[in-house]
Every structure is written in structure tokens, then in C-alpha cells.
Amino acid sequence: MRNVFRQVGAGLALGALLMPVIPVSAQEAGQVSSTPQGGFTLKVNGELVLTNVVARDTKTGEFVRDLKQSDFKIYEDGKEQPISTFDFQSVEMAEPLKEATVSGLAAGPANGGPTAVVVAKPEELRNHRLIVMFFDLTSMQPEDLERSVDAARDFLKNKMQPADLVALVSLGDTLKVDQDFTADKDALTREVGIYNGTEGEGYLTASSANQTEDATAYTPDESEFSDINTDRELFALKTIAKSLEKITVKKSLLFFSGGISRNGIENQASLRQAINAAVRANLAVYSVDTRGLEAVLPMGDSSKGSMRGQGGFTGAALTNNMNQNFATQEVMASLSSDTGGKAFFDSNDFAPAFAQVQNDSSAYYALGYHSLNQARDGKFRKLTVKLNRPGIKLEYRPGYYAPADFQHSGKQDREQELQDQLASDLPATDIAVYLDAMFLRLDQNRYYMPVSLLVPGSQIPFVKGGDKDKATLDILGAVVDEVRRPIGRARETVKLNLDQTMGARQKNIQYTTSFNLPPGKYTLKFVVRENQTGRMGSFVATITLPDMRKAPLKMSSIVLASQRQPGKTPEKSGKGQERNVDLLIRNGQQYVPNISHVFQQDQHMYLLYEVYDPAREKAQAGAKEQPGAINLISSLELIQGSTKVYETPMVHAKAINVEGRGAVAIELDVPLAGLKPGQYICQLNVVDDAAGSFAFPRFAILVRPPVAAVEAPAAAQPAGGGN
């Protein structure tokens, strides 16, 4: 559905801490620099870098088992690192493991994805071979899936050893754990057979799972689809790796896929995150191209139309087809080489992949060290392992990417962090974020829903730039309906460049955006990140946009504000309806919602609300052709304890004052100077006398003594937006 997203304003506003109100411009960006903090800082590098080393005799190829820690030296970017941990593991020393003690992967409660559940003790898993078979059903054709399942069944029945623990994971319409780690061959054979229908009812393939009933639904172009699908596959690999982090022994993942397409530098952030997660989890990826050996034809196969031009005769078409085939294998090769595994391409026999996994995991040395390079720059660090004994060949992964702090992360990595937090079920709490949403009716089946976010300025690390306080906030939000379908989305970078006399750290930053939605119940989630240290905060809320067709009194939300600032009145279309609508603007003044309901005595409390389709009184005799007038009455009462301490003058509306929407907009201005500090209950009285219907909504406010005024320059126009 179409949503309207525009930046209504980004300014300093009154919040829960009762701070002065100073509207400011958020149009200019500034350079951000760090501010040194005093005091003594103790830094400890607690990140252990693990690498598995397979040592083989160069003549016989047999594993060398008598090496000690003193025989090894490990170098990072050419600099020797002190070895902190050393271990030798071999499947020949594996002890029987009770099935009930093993639990490495488990289906997540929210979306079926794997979560980390470790019951077995680390010493119990020593000397065992942990293998995850991951089937990417979204990329495989039926014949490819048939070959991979047959190879897996043959391994499970005939080649699986007592020290092997195998888990099954698949990616179709969702990421699913089909079988946790187990040594039960029958259970594994039964589960893997479901993928191609040889067991049970058969698995729903991606081609049928992704179909929709609406044949006219939007279909992205091929490159866009490839980018999205590649990110999805890489995110699945990252999720699997993260779920296995707590299992410290070496793990292997057999990745069955029909190829992954990557468009230039697109998906680079997802690929790096997947590799880093696998390296941190001590997980080696063995990629298997399930397409097997393909005959690349100059004119293309039967799935494509006949070729035009001379490409088929000059060799250009053949070169292009081969390049496309190689490109789909590039990501799989990178996953394997960078995690210490191997890739298996252009072969219809998948048995060598299983044999390689067993061979590489049969016996190995595990070396760990704490890097002397504590820079969190995200750069690739090359590993070199040497022995003091000749005639031995070592196999190990070539290096790893160092952890990156926010200042060293790239644009794609930063954007992915926001996306991951938006999708996470856990809230971000590094900075406080407050949110409120309201609604005003656009027409019978559509609402204008303004959403306001508030962040305390004290939690934003402003930096000084001349006589300015500067900061940048990234905002990402989404609206989903009751069945978790995305309905609206907001993405904005707010750049603050504020005069230091405004005291930005003692105020709150308020941002407002809006959506156009039909009636229904919605969940809103917004993530805010300050771009100096990368700290994030999030807020989740629900709102119900009512179906007013049968309501006796049709009324909007009550917009409560402590300030109004200049705003551009919406343009009119040919039928008198508003375009690029911002219903918070009335008579050139824009209401800035007060989401905390906290006011000062020297302020005014502004109210804006609307009543829709009010009834009309019966026409006078002799004038039946003329419609009767409306008779809408409204006032506001402030109650403290059981005593009414204030009431606004009665408002009488006799006609519709918002053309094109059938609405009566009512604005109230309540000066608070005559009220004592304290809490008040506000009761809004709305009576449609012609219809005999009424409403008496209530809300609470807090009035506090005034804060010393801060002299500020004239308010600037907020940054504009568009559809």
C-alpha cells in the first residue's frame, strides 16, 4: 500500500524532563569529531581468535599427531602472536554421548529460525564431528535437489561414523531447523527425504511457496530480485553461525545451493557479516554447487529464446554465459575459502564433499590467541602458522576480519545494523526513545497518522563546530498490520547544526513523520541511532485506526501541543481536497505534538481535534430544499482532585470548516499561567446536539514551574519532504 512519508519537523521540543521549547532547523550537516574524556581507562582484549590447523606429512598425507604448542608459531599480518590456548582433538578419542545432552540448534519462537541452545558441556562434545547440512531450497531446481538429497542419504546410511553429530537446516519460505544435532541415522534419513518427497508428504519448494494469488502483484526486475534473495541467503548463513557460537569445538557446514548471484558491490556487507559470523563461531563452510557439471552452450539452453545478432558466432555469447555461471559460484567460493572450508563445483558426484568434511574434522589442532592489534578497524588480517619441524604441510584459514567499531564501519554495514535492529525482537536500549501516534481522517477509508519521536538531548553526543552544536541521527521505522505485512516505512537522516546558545544538551530532539493508512490495527517500530558512537534506541507501539461508519460520534485523536511554528498550508486539488497533506498545519501554524503531556506555567496548551460528518438539524418549514445547520458544542475542563479549576469558553460550530473532508476542526488555546503546579485531569466535552450524541474523553497533564528562558534566534523552517 502507498504511504506518505515526509519529514514534518525535526526540532527541540518539550519532553519528559521539562526543558525549554526552541524550534530549530535540521537541514545542515556538520563534521563530527570525538571529544576526549578525562579519567583513567583500563582496556582488556577479551576477544579470542581461534584457528584450526590440520598438519599432514608432505610425503604420505597422513595426519601428524605428536605436535605440541611449542612447535607452533602464529603470525597476524607478519607479527608473531603469543598462543593463549592449545588443544588437540580427534574422532578416534570420542566418547559415547547421550542423545539427550545434545542441543545445538533449536527453532526460534518468532520466525522459525535457529536459536542458540547449548545443553551439552564443552568437554562432552570434544573429539566429536559436528556437521550441519544446509539446503537452500530457494535456489535449487527439482533435479538438483534430487541429487543433493540422494548424496546426503547415502552418506547418512553408509558413511556416517559414531563420532558424527549431524543437524539439518533448510531455507524455503522460512529458515527452519528440521533436525537438531543427532547421531540417529534413521531420524536424519527420514527428515532429509522430506525435501524431495521421498519421505512423508514432501517439502513445499520455494517456487510454489513464493507464489501469490494476485497475478498483477508487483514483480521486481531480475537484478533487484537477485540482490534481495542473496541477502536473504547470506542472512540465513549468518543466523546459523550465530546460533552455534556457544559451541566452541570446530563445526562444519555443508551448504547445498544452486548458485548465488551478486551484483557488483551489492550484498558485500551481508557477505562480510556472514563470513565474520562463521569465523567467530569456528564454523567452516563447504559449498556444493548442486547444478553439477553444466554444458555451457553458445546459443543458450532451451529455457531462453533464440538469440539475435552475431554473439553466437563470435564467441561473445559463450563468454557471457560462462561468466554468468562463474559469477553465481563466486560468493560460494568466498564463503568456503574465508572460513577454512572448500568449494565443490562442476561435478555431479557430491560424495567428495562429505569425505572432505570428515577428513578435515577427523583430527586437528585448535590454536587461540589474543591479538596484539587492538584496533577495531574492520580490516582483513592475514594469518600465518609455522612449524619448527620440516616435512609437514599445514592447512588453516587464511585470515579474518577484525571487529569494527562504528567509526570504522562502512555505509552498507551501518545500514544493515539498522535493518537488523528493526527486525530484532529485542529492543535497543542504549539511548532512550519515546514515541506517540495519532490519527485524523482523510476520507471514509483513509487516515492521516502523524508519528512523533522524542530523544533526550542529554543522550546525544553533540560535537562543537565553531559556534555550533552538531549531531546526526539515523531514523528507521516500519508499520506492519495484524498479519505482520509491511504497510509503511520511514527512513531519514536528521542533521542537527544548532547554535550553542540553545543549550541542545539540556533539551529534547523531536522528529515527526506521517503515514496514510486504512482502518485497522497496526504495530509501529522505530529505531534511532546517533552517528557519533553508533548507540541505538528503539520503541514499539500499537495503534488502532477505527472504522467510524457506525460510530455515533466520529472523532479524531486529540493533538496536544505546547508550541506552534510556521508551516506551509497544504495545496488544494481541483476538487478542493488537500495534496501533500499535513493535517497538523492550521492557518499557517504547525502543531508540534507534546507526547509527554508535561507543560510549564508560562506556556499555552494547544488542542486540535476534529469531528466528522456531524448531524444536521431538521430544515425549517417552507425551506425543505435547504439542508439544516449543524450544532456542535465543545469545551475543555481541568480537574484537580475532585474540583474543577478551569473551563474554556464554549465553542459552538454551526458549519463544516474543513472542505472536502466533511470535518469540523476545533482548536483550543489554554493559557497555563493561572494554574498552580501539579497534575490535572483534562476532560474534553464534545456534544453533537443535532444527533444527540456525545463524547467525554479524558487525559492527564502535568504543570510545572517555568524554566529560565534561553534567548534564541528566530525559528527556521523545518526540512521538507515528499511522497
At 522-573, the pLDDT tens digits run: 999 999 999 888 999 999 999 999 999 888 999 999 999 999 988 765 554 4
Over residues 32-84, the pLDDT tens digits come to 333 333 444 444 445 788 898 999 999 998 899 999 999 999 999 999 999 99
* Residue of 437 and 162 predicted with greater confidence: 437
* Residue of 624 and 344 predicted with greater confidence: 344
Question: What is the three-class DSSP state of 397?
Answer: coil
Of 5-14, 93-102, 670-679, least confident by mean pLDDT is 5-14
Over residues 177-203, the pLDDT tens digits come to 898 888 888 889 999 999 987 776 554
The share of the chain scoring above pLDDT 90, in percent, equals 41
* Residue of 450 and 220 predicted with greater confidence: 450
Grid cell at residue 440? 485524523
Report the pLDDT value the prediction gives residue 300, as an integer from 0 to 100.
Answer: 57
Residue 123 has pLDDT above 60, yes or no: yes
Report the pLDDT value the prediction gives residue 412, as an integer from 0 to 100.
Answer: 78
Report which DSSP code applies to 346: S
The pTM (predicted TM-score) of the whole model is 0.59
Domains defined along the chain, listed by start: 9-32+410-704 (2.60.40.10), 48-210+222-301+313-401 (3.40.50.410)
Of 1-15, 635-649, 668-682, least confident by mean pLDDT is 1-15
Residue 157 has pLDDT above 70, yes or no: yes
Long-range pairs, 173-176, Cβ under 8 A, ≥24:
173/204, 173/206, 173/209, 173/210, 174/111, 174/112, 174/113, 175/111, 175/112, 175/113, 175/114, 175/236, 175/239, 175/240, 176/107, 176/112, 176/113
- Cell 535457529 sits on residue: 114
Mean pLDDT along residues 574-592 = 73
Residue 26 has pLDDT above 70, yes or no: no
Report the pLDDT value the prediction gives residue 148, as an integer from 0 to 100.
Answer: 93
Grid cell at residue 271? 557477505
Mean pLDDT along residues 119-125 = 62
Mean pLDDT along residues 565-588 = 67
Averaged pLDDT of the chain: 79
- Cell 530484532 sits on residue: 424
Residue 275 has pLDDT above 60, yes or no: yes
Over residues 294-352, the pLDDT tens digits come to 666 665 555 555 555 555 555 566 566 666 667 778 889 989 988 989 999 988 899 99
Report the pLDDT value the prediction gives residue 681, as an integer from 0 to 100.
Answer: 96
Q: Where are the beta strands (DSSP E) in 94-151?
A: 105-107, 114-116, 129-136
Distance separating alpha carbons of residues 470 and 473, to the nearest angstrom: 10
Distance separating alpha carbons of residues 659 and 364, to the nearest angstrom: 78
* Residue of 562 and 579 predicted with greater confidence: 562
Label residue 577 by pLDDT band (50, 70, 90): very low
Distance separating alpha carbons of residues 496 and 490, to the nearest angstrom: 19
Look at residues 397, 395, 385, 353 and name the one whose alpha carbon lies nearest to residue 57: 395
DSSP, residue by residue, 404-468 = B-GGG--HHHHHHHHHHHHH-SSPPBSS--EEEE--EEEETTEEEEEEEEEEEGGGS--EEETTE
Label residue 394 by pLDDT band (50, 70, 90): very high
